[in-house]
Amino acid sequence: MKTEKIPYKIYLSESEMPTAWYNLRADMKKKPAPLLNPATLQPMKAEELAGVFCEDLIAQELDNDTPFFEIPEEIRSFYKMYRPAPLVRAYCLEEKLGTPAKIYYKFEGNNTSGSHKLNSAIAQAYYAKKQGLKGVTTETGAGQWGTALSMACSYFDLDCKVYMVKCSYEQKPFRREVMRTYGASVTPSPSMETEVGNKILAEHPGTTGSLGCAISEAVEKAVTSDGYRYVLGSVLNQVLLHQSVIGLETKTALDKYGIKPDIIIGCAGGGSNLGGLIAPFMGEKLRGEADYRIIAVEPASCPSFTRGVYAYDFCDTGKVCPMAKMYTLGCDFIPSANHAGGLRYHGMSSTLSELYDQGLMEAVSVKQTDVFEAAEYFARIEGILPAPESSHAIRVAIDEALKCKETGEEKTIVFGLTGTGYFDMVAYEKFHDGEMSDYIPTDEELKAYRAKLPKVN
Ligand SMILES: *Cc1c(COP(=O)(O)O)cnc(C)c1O
């Protein structure tokens, strides 16, 4: 095969960048379950979603058959400002670990928002603008999505209203200011601005909020404001579609050097970076052309794949969104307050849930102290200060590389390094001061949330 030494960074030229997103669902024989209207329990139709989401995005959301969607020229130009993202060969890490494994990571942190989320934010802002809307609303947890969306909205001159989970709003004032720099308005959630926010505050006074609750507020704001729609940074099929740009670039880069990965690893919150990274590889797997081990990594404190159930559930606490069939812990589940490492959504992408249910991918959960240990180790060796979310994938990539050290196998491991951790220094501080603990929910706790799942199936 190729004898050429693989460079530290495999870059693509502009002309090698993808011109179409790949829709993984087109190659699935058994499709992900449809979104349901909670009132009728019937599959959501485009017309019913039109009050909440943008038209073109609804079409992408509901399309299980079209394999490729052309990336509009305007979005491709924006991508060129910060893409292609490098695929890095982690030579330094391999050497330090003393592993025969070959480790690659796709680095998505090379933009101001600091994560892969900009890939979908710019697409969603583009379609909102194309529809002639005034603006969009959304929620943000750790703040990466809100930052990405505010950048995308300012590019297309759209108004951007962000509901930020209150504890992050207080813990991450710098994220908030980045969003305001790009012209977004940022409201701590739950707030008194919405009915659902008032209701949640009345039921749980002093709550520091949750993603599910901020989603409910953002949706309510969108449907009650003229010329606004709601946009979401993960979980949905359309987001996985946009994020396929990560996997397509990765595949092109690997193919250039004739490299075939054995193991592909990504962290999983709502599933968008993982769904995007694995898209073309899973496509080959679904078509019977190649086989890969694919591993989703989630926090032990929010273990939707590994300890959740595959069932219809609400996507938000206020139960205003459609229901999705997914691996879920129950829509009232909120990870314990000492959980710092992101990835705190109670559910999971319905596409990835279906693939996992069919046994086409694996999932593991990791404790946050182990995650931060890997994060710090990686920062010191590879130079990049990783986001806590990304560090879940780092942890498992290191663990797999250490297994290769024992067995002497020269496996090729690819993982997604979704972003940088500059705004997560409070969590790093806790880790350094020995104040970070691991809280893993008990079976009894999970059972109590599960008992409250809607009776649909
Ligand atoms: C949002 C985020 C994630 C998790 O979201 P997914 O939709 O599961 O990809 C992972 N890493 C970073 C840096 C993020 O900002």
Write the DSSP string, 20-83.
EEE-GGGG-SSPPPPPB-TTT-SBPPHHHHTTTS-HHHHHHHH-SS--EEEPPHHHHHHHHHH-
Q: Is the CB of 389 under 6 A from ligand 1?
A: yes
Q: How confident is the model at residue 2 (pLDDT cuts 50, 70, 90)?
A: very low
- Rounded Cα–Cα distance for residues 150 and 161 (Å): 9
Q: Is the CB of 168 under 6 A from ligand 1?
A: no
Q: Which pLDDT score, from 0 to 100, does residue 1 have?
A: 46
114 contact partners, CB below 8 Å, separation of at least 6? 144, 147, 387, 419, 420, 422, 423
Q: Which atom of ligand 1 is nearest to the CA of 390?
A: 11
| pLDDT value at 21 more than 90 | yes
Sign of CA dihedral 312, 315, 317, 318: negative
Which residue among 107, 273, 392, 415 is best mutated to probe the pocket of ligand 1, counting the most ligand atoms within 8 A of its Cβ? 273
Let me know: does 390 contact 369? Beta carbons within 8 Å: no
Sign of CA dihedral 432, 166, 326, 246: negative
Helices of type H across 228-367: 237-256, 272-286, 304-307, 350-357
| pLDDT value at 3 more than 80 | no
Q: What is the pLDDT of residues 219-249, one digit of tens each?
A: 999 999 999 999 999 999 999 999 999 999 9
Which residue among 112, 115, 215, 294 is best mutated to probe the pocket of ligand 1, counting the most ligand atoms within 8 A of its Cβ? 115
Q: Which pLDDT score, from 0 to 100, does residue 343 have?
A: 87
Q: How confident is the model at residue 445 (pLDDT cuts 50, 70, 90)?
A: very high
- Rounded Cα–Cα distance for residues 24 and 216 (Å): 28
Q: What average pLDDT does the segment 431-446 reach?
A: 95
- Rounded Cα–Cα distance for residues 13 and 84 (Å): 8
Q: What is the pLDDT of residues 170-209, one digit of tens each?
A: 988 999 999 999 999 999 999 999 999 999 999 999 888 8
Let me know: does 374 contact 347? Beta carbons within 8 Å: no
Under CATH, which number does the domain 9-17+83-114+239-450 receive?
A: 3.40.50.1100
| pLDDT value at 353 more than 50 | yes
- The whole-chain average pLDDT of the chain stands at 95
User: Under DSSP, is residue 201 helix (H, G, I), strand (E, B) or coil?
Assistant: helix
DSSP state, residue 386 = B
- Rounded Cα–Cα distance for residues 36 and 189 (Å): 26
Q: Is the CB of 261 under 6 A from ligand 1?
A: no
DSSP state, residue 185 = E
Under CATH, which number does the domain 52-70+117-237 receive?
A: 3.40.50.1100
Least confident of 138-147, 178-187, 372-381: 138-147
Instruction: Count Cα neighbours of 370 within 13 Å in the Cβ-side half-sphere.
Output: 18
Name the token pair of 441.
């929910």
Q: Which atom of ligand 1 is nearest to the CA of 109?
A: 13
Which residue among 234, 239, 371, 392 is best mutated to probe the pocket of ligand 1, counting the most ligand atoms within 8 A of its Cβ? 234
Sheet holding 87-89, edge to edge: 9-10, 87-89, 102-107, 412-417, 263-267, 293-299, 362-366
Let me know: does 341 contact 299? Beta carbons within 8 Å: yes
Task: Give the whole-number percent of the chain exceeding pLDDT 70.
Answer: 99
Q: Which helix (H) or strand (E) holds 413?
A: strand 412-417
Let me know: does 432 contact 423? Beta carbons within 8 Å: no
**The pTM of the whole model exceeds 0.75:** yes
Q: Is the CB of 94 under 6 A from ligand 1?
A: no
> Which residue's alpha carbon is at the smallest distance from atom 5 of ligand 1?
269
Task: Give the whole-number percent of the chain exceeding pLDDT 90.
Answer: 89
Q: What average pLDDT does the segment 127-144 reach?
A: 96
Residue ranges per domain, the chain?
A: 9-17+83-114+239-450, 52-70+117-237
- Rounded Cα–Cα distance for residues 84 and 362 (Å): 28
Q: What average pLDDT does the segment 34-61 reach?
A: 95
DSSP state, residue 205 = T
Q: Which atom of ligand 1 is nearest to the CA of 274?
A: 9
- Rounded Cα–Cα distance for residues 35 and 32 (Å): 9
Residue 190 preceded by cis peptide, ω within 30? yes
Please give the C-alpha separations between residue 102 and each of 251, 378, 400, 412, in angstroms, as whole numbers. 16, 15, 11, 5
